[in-house]
Structure 1
Amino acid sequence: MDTPMQKPHDRLATLLSGDMDGVNALIRERMASKHAPRIPEVTAHLVEAGGKRLRPLLTLASARLCGYEGPFHVHLAATVEFIHTATLLHDDVVDESKQRRGRPTANLLWDNKSSVLVGDYLFARAFQLMVEPGNLRVLNILSNAAATIAEGEVLQLTAAQDLRTNEDIYLQVVRGKTAALFSAATEVGGVIAGVEEEQVQALFDYGDALGIAFQIVDDLLDYQGDSSATGKNVGDDFRERKLTLPVIKAIAAADDEERAFWKRTIEKGDQQDGDLEHALALLNKHGALDATRADAQAWTDKAKASMEKLPQSELRDLLVELADFVVSRVY
């Protein structure tokens, strides 16, 4: 039974539970491998670790919101989850991560080679799944998203520790590594349902803005979050020398002495006791956290506004609430 205390994505999952059961069954079926038992071992470790399954839910919700009655939204939702899982496997290798969702990462339990190769396998499975609806435009959207995600990750390698990285480059990285899959997930729901172009565009705009807000909030929580709620320690991004939006804003307003501090800690990686506290003081001095929060709110408002072009329904209301919930975590 739904209650007002449930989070929007939980209520979305309840409303779409029948479709989601189909997605989970398809994921289990397609992550099997006759010849390489390590593939289902590694995949099951990540897929069954929980997680909100937000991206496939967005595909199911978008298709249902547009009146879709066929079977293929399930294939597309599974495709989106496979792409997401593949990128997580690759990301954990690149970032040398030890934990994800409170559990040891696949690269720690097995090795980097297994993580990369199983990620490749999931990408291949995703492409097989996205072909099955027989819709060339869907194939175009999802394959473009896969390329954009990879491009965003490579751009982040060079931009993350370069003090010349500005807000435009940051947005490009975020659109690649996060928003591209959100917008593809929502857009294909409208395309498979065959709705008019204005509504397909509205779904794309919703996913794009939601994905950007989601990542900005994530970056903000790194400097002001509750580690027991986020699963991350405050300042992890600083320790990992990641140039996220709050720091980019602080650097833009920095004097020479402050800039030298950022150069030493982020570009050169020479971090000492007390540096995180000094970084937080600089972020507060220049209002960088408040400005970042305002940006997240603006993207949330954009996501909500795009929903007005879609038919009124409980699903639409939940997608609007979801956008509000994403940004509520930093208030």
Structure 2
Amino acid sequence: MGVVVPLEEEVNRPASIGPLVELTGPDMERVNRMILDRAGSDVEMIPEVANHLISSGGKRLRPMLTLASAAMFGYGGEHHVRLATSVEFMHTATLLHDDVVDESDLRRGRSTARTVWGNQASVLVGDFLLGQAFRMMVDAGSMDALGVLSNAAAVIAEGEVLQLSVAKNMETTEDDYLAVIRAKTAALFSAAAEVGPIIAGASRAERNALKSYGINLGLAFQLVDDALDYGGSQQDLGKNTGDDFREGKITLPIVLAYRRGSEDERAFWKSAMEDGLNDEAALERANALIARHDSLADTIARARHYGDIARDALAPLPGSDYKSAMLEVIDFCIARVT
């Protein structure tokens, strides 16, 4: 019996979102047109602020998941474009709000909207985009999809408040941290993946498979983002590395380093994160402690764990190009930091 040896270029080909981009390309063109249309307003500042972030080069992974998950189950209508655009507007609104809360100056390599137009404009334009998102959800005509996305909006807001409550608090546990990212990041990934099978009329089991895929992909994605803040580059992260440290944001690399550290090391973390003594010298020591206690490696290991759960969630579904592309997205998200 012969043995099939894969071509070397296939074996060594890095994980990519390219297949997903290609499969959803025609529909994403429609999404992009709808984004520009629905971000328009007679109030001049609204499209200026919205387009500043919308045009800044994000991958738009979440709306692509909506389009792919609908196509995976044979959807042939028009509403997946509206829902995908709603998902992107929800994401953009949360970025505008987050940059205000976090006092961030850089987003995807560009000045944040708040540094150009101010905090008030950023918050209010974020609210406008949320309103437009809900208009499109209603236009899509699916109460189930509306329920999933509106629930996600509430959960994301809860996550933002929860993050405020644990910020600069070194008693934050890993469970606390996971609760924050499950709400702030994973909830929208989950909703984006679930509404596709909903409008395609898929079964409850199929819908749950995509829901599980989305939430676990979102957890893996955020874990990698938080690792990149200490072990990546500005290009990888889309913002200044070390920003989480400067903002007193308690992420898993810090939680692990603090729990595993000596009494002197824990005193350092408290002074840096709780008292704001977080200059460049402090960031250098923070990176050294994170490396000493394998905090980055273990954060990435947890990301791989959730990636495996996302992969298993899709396992019972029939093979297709869309399924293969969505599986490769898992590897792509994790490979950003490896």
Question: Per-residue deviation at 1:11?
Answer: 2.6
Contact conserved, 1:66 with 1:311, CA < 8 A, in 2? no
Structure 1, residues 29-70: CA drift from partner, whole Å, max 9, x if none?
Answer: 211213x12111111111112210111000001000111111
Report the equivalent of 1:324. Answer: 331
Report the equivalent of 2:6. Answer: none
| Matches for 1:68-147 after TM superposition, within 5 Å | 68-147=75-154
- Distance of aligned partners of 1:120 and 1:323 in 2 relative to their CA distance in 1, 3 Å threshold: same
Report the equivalent of 2:168. Answer: 161
Report the equivalent of 1:24. Answer: 32
Percentage identity across paired residues of the two chains: 52
Structure 1, residues 85-126: CA drift from partner, whole Å, max 9, x if none?
Answer: 111111111122222112222112212111111111111111
- Distance of aligned partners of 1:228 and 1:192 in 2 relative to their CA distance in 1, 3 Å threshold: closer
Q: Distance in 2 between matches of 1:203 and 1:308?
A: 11
Determine helix, strand or coil for the equivalent of 2:17: helix
Question: Per-residue deviation at 1:9?
Answer: 2.0
Paired residue type of 1:180: A
Please report the RMSD computed on the Cα atoms of aligned residues, expressed in angstroms.
1.7
Question: Per-residue deviation at 1:272?
Answer: 4.8
Report the equivalent of 1:227. Answer: 234
Question: Per-residue deviation at 1:229?
Answer: 3.5
Q: Distance in 2 between matches of 1:105 and 1:271?
A: 22
Task: Specify which of 15, 20, 23 is matched with residue 15 of structure 1.
Answer: 23
Report the equivalent of 1:311. Answer: 318
Paired residue type of 2:324: D
Paired residue type of 1:245: L
Task: Specify which of 216, 227, 251 is matched with residue 223 of structure 2.
Answer: 216
Paired residue type of 2:70: A
Q: TM-score, normalised by structure 1?
A: 0.95
Report the equivalent of 1:301. Answer: 308
Q: Which has the higher mean CA deviation after the structures are superposed, 62-71 or 38-47?
A: 38-47
Contact conserved, 1:198 with 1:309, CA < 8 A, in 2? no
Question: Per-residue deviation at 1:7?
Answer: 5.7
Q: Distance in 1 between matches of 2:234 and 2:118?
A: 27
Report the equivalent of 1:241. Answer: 248
Report the equivalent of 2:210. Answer: 203
Q: Count residues with an aligned counterpart.
A: 328
Q: Distance in 1 between matches of 2:126 and 2:269?
A: 35
Kindly indicate whether residue 71 of structure 2 is the aligned counterpart of residue 61 of structure 1. Answer: no
Q: Distance in 2 between matches of 1:259 and 1:6?
A: 39
Report the equivalent of 1:192. Answer: 199
Report the equivalent of 2:3. Answer: none
Report the equivalent of 2:271. Answer: 264
Report the equivalent of 2:5. Answer: none
Structure 1, residues 287-322: CA drift from partner, whole Å, max 9, x if none?
Answer: 222211110110111111111122210110111111
Determine helix, strand or coil for the equivalent of 2:315: helix
Q: Distance in 2 between matches of 1:30 and 1:226?
A: 33
Structure 1, residues 242-261: CA drift from partner, whole Å, max 9, x if none?
Answer: 11101101122223222111
Contact conserved, 2:106 with 2:240, CA < 8 A, in 1? no
Determine helix, strand or coil for the equivalent of 1:28: helix
- Distance of aligned partners of 1:171 and 1:54 in 2 relative to their CA distance in 1, 3 Å threshold: same
Unaligned runs of 5+ in 2: 1-8
Contact conserved, 2:108 with 2:239, CA < 8 A, in 1? no
